[in-house]
Amino acid sequence: MTTTKKTSAKRTTKDNRPKHIGLVKNDPYLEPFEEAIRGRHDHALWKLNQLTNNGRRTLEDFASGYDYYGLHRNGRGGWVFREWAPNATDIYLIGDFNDWQETELYQLKRIAGTDNWELRLPKKAMQHGQLYKMSVHWNGGQGERIPAWARRVVQDDQTKIFSAQVWSPEQPYEWKKKTFRPKKSPLLIYECHIGMAQDAEKVGTYNEFRENILPRIAADGYNCIQVMAIQEHPYYGSFGYHVSSFFAASSRFGTPEELKLLIDTAHQMGIAVIMDIVHSHAVKNEVEGLGNLCGDPNQYFYPGDRHEHPAWDSLCFDYGKDNVIHFLLSNCKYWIREFHFDGFRFDGVTSMLYYSHGLGEAFTGYPDYFNGGEDDNAICYLTLANLLIHELNKDAITIAEEVSGMPGLAAKFEDGGFGFDYRMAMNIPDYWIKTIKEQKDEDWKPSSIFWEVKNRRADEKTISYCESHDQALVGDKTIIFRLIDADMYWHFKKGDENEVARRGIALHKMIRLVTAAAINGGYLNFMGNEFGHPEWIDFPREGNGWSHKYARRQWNLVDNKELCYHWLGDFDREMLRVITSERNFQRTKVQEIWHNDGDQILAFMRGDLVFVFNFSPTRSFADYGFLVPTGSYSVVLNTDAVQFGGNGLADDTVTHLTNYDPVYVEDHKEWLKLYIPARSAVVLRKN
């Protein structure tokens, strides 16, 4: 593998090691922990060599379990079914085809010398669309189970019982867009949920999302969708985070072919599709899930105190078992190869990294990341997953949802990192919530805002965001609701806005602009938040009478030109257009021009774009000066423009010429003087 060759380059010390591994070279403060970093790197290399037979095969070859296990057509038109079930004493397939009875024809045989079971059947033994399960026997017990590698699982509308479904359509899906390369300059992610992506009070479908929502996303300028809740999950209200069948696309939204058509259509629109993948834990259910597949609760999961997640009511994978690594790596490959996903956002990475799952940990300094409380098996798995995904597709996108700040997460493997392309900048939404909740507008400090939106490791790319689905759930509040709250119900019609609504509209735009303007990798928005979708997300449950009222997106609000929502949606679209108009915006240096906490003014430059913010709620400034490169500047975006619900106090048609100052001649800088209304921001481009 090329990875090992890269790692062994530039050896200079007596023990044939480079003086410093790349992660430490980039951050000298990590030097006291270099041995731990090397140990993790060497652990991943050792496991990589073991799984690939010292490079005689690839990691992609290893991660092909879905081609072997589960139900498949064999070469003669018949069927073959296999399952890894080390603790089983007998296994039968039961289903529509045998009246759900154990019969000799459908009895599996253990493959000699292995923990694998197999059944071969003639073509007529089952048909596309029929339902089935395994009936598994073990010493002291028996139970019906959905196969671990099932690719299609459905729920009966009346009984609510889940079953696997034979899925072998006569015409496999024909991809129209056979190759696709994601745009990452920058990566603009629209986080979305298929089921709640429509106005109607029901579960939406893959087809409805493709027909109604994809065109909106493309028109808004996003170049990537991050799709939640794809892996099958028994409880809809879990938001897809309590997975039962890891290889089955949720049937409550439609068929596998309809999901493929959605992805294919997105690719034709130039939109990448990444999946919110859950490998951090699994649902506890035994009949639907992996909780007790064949009488051994620890087949896939850690034993003892580490078996259950103390906060999530779920089970924790044993990343030290090769069979579990095989299962999870094969899962990554399956979604990329079979569905053409462009990558993954890995959920719950913090929970995977630490024995404590990060619960109750402060993470105040580097020693907290190297104190022996880390799960080296999980770290190894995540590293291998990144190596595999990029072996499958060098342009793939991997994102870590991680809150502790573990160094190296989004650093290159050869530098001692985990190999993620990006990590979520989870500090930013926390900062905005804290600021809105705890500080008066007069106390907002531009220096703190600027520090927070660009607070990241120099060698790791991040995905910045103001709020994700987490801030929209019951028990929390979106930014727009924190700013306006109940006044949204009474004062969000044009002409009826009160001061609370006007403040909220202005700050909603400014918060988004300063966050997006400081990115070093990508920007994320959750579906509907771009136009200030009101209320929270509450999935159907017993406590709300199983209502879908709050598990939907009310697109009619942003489409109604009589309401204020479209101002926010229009601004979001224009903001993304301005950012992407600067070539490789995310790679340009964020150069501070000026900040003054007393005036609440912040200005910085990226490429030819100048961003100026006045966070003061009451003070406007005339002829406020900034030292910028000599030339002329034109306004390309103004949060205070009438078209975005502002007051239109400045004339944005004026070309601004810099004013000569002999002191700064050698620096090629002059004074740019602007009128900056209170609570507004403006973006100018150097002509």
Letter for the amino acid at 433?
I
Kindly give, in sequence order, each residue whose CB lies less than 8 Å from that of residue 513, ignoring residues fewer than 6 positions away.
575, 611, 613, 637, 639, 681, 683
Strand duo 655-657 + 591-596: pairing? unpaired
Task: Please name the helix (run of DSSP H) or strand (run of DSSP E) that holds residue 121, with its range, or none.
Answer: strand 116-121
What is the 8-class DSSP label of residue 282?
Answer: B
Q: Measured between alpha carbons, how far apart are the two ends of the chain, in Å?
A: 49
Q: DSSP labels for 307-355?
A: SEETTTTEE-B-TTSHHHHHHHHHHHHHHHHHH---EEEETTHHHHHBT
User: Mapping DSSP to helix (H, G, I), strand (E, B) and coil, where does residue 422 land?
Assistant: strand
**Catalytic residue (one of 208, 401, 421, 570):** 401
Residue from 347, 414, 497, 640 carrying the catalytic annotation: 347
Q: At what angle do helices 427-438 and 499-517 cross, to 10 degrees?
A: 150
Q: Are 343 and 81 in contact (CB under 8 A)?
A: no
Is residue 347 flagged as an active site residue? yes
Calculate ∠ Cα 277-225-312, nearest 5°: 30
Other residues' Cβ atoms within 10 Å of the Cβ of residue 623: 10
Please say whether the dihedral angle defined by the alpha carbons of residues 493, 494, 498 and 503, taken in this order, is positive or negative.
positive
* CA max distance for the chain: 95
Give Cα separations from 295 to 141, 148, 309, 566 (angstroms).
7, 14, 20, 56
The rounded distance, in Å, linking the Cα atoms of 3 and 25 is 19
DSSP summary character for residue 406:
-
401 classed as catalytic: yes
- Whether omega before 86 lies within 30 degrees of 0, making that bond cis, reads no
Q: How far apart are CA 103 and CA 565, in angstroms?
A: 61
CB 139 within 8 A of CB 74: no
Distance CA 186, CA 422 (A): 12
**Nearest-5° Cα angle at 498, 497 to 499:** 125
Q: Catalytic amino acids?
A: 347, 401
